[in-house]
Amino acid sequence: MTSFPGQRPMHGDMVQLTTDTTSVTITGSITSQGILRDGRGFVELTLPDADPQQRRDLERTTSYQYELYRSSALLYSSPRLILSEARRTKDGSLVVTGSP
């Protein structure tokens, strides 16, 4: 298990995402990556296009935590992250950005 999703992307096939009010398991092509923006470190989680309600639900939360898996093996368990952005990409993927 990795202690921080550095700038090299980690790819998984399942994520367990927990927010202030809900917990959901998402499967498919998932990427977790550390990014630097304006001198601050963030974690960017890219999820497959699934339920359109997901983005709206995530935009309403203030914090979240996730566990990224590949072939049932835990790759990364994030600390509680403060949500800074939830958006869709041009290809429809959901990108969630947060910081500790």
What is the pLDDT, as a whole number, of residue 24?
87
Q: 7 by DSSP, 3-state: which?
A: coil
pLDDT digits (tens, 9 = 90+) for 11-69: 999 999 999 888 889 999 999 999 888 888 899 999 987 677 777 777 788 899 999 99
Q: 35 by DSSP, 3-state: which?
A: strand
What is the pLDDT, as a whole number, of residue 46?
92
Structural domain includes residue 3: no
Structural domain includes residue 71: yes
Structural domain includes residue 5: no
Model confidence, pTM = 0.85
- Helix, strand, coil distribution of the chain in percent, nearest 5: 5, 60, 30
Structural domain includes residue 63: yes
- What is the number of domains present in the chain? 1
Give the CATH number of the domain where residue 79 resides: 2.30.110.10
Structural domain includes residue 4: no
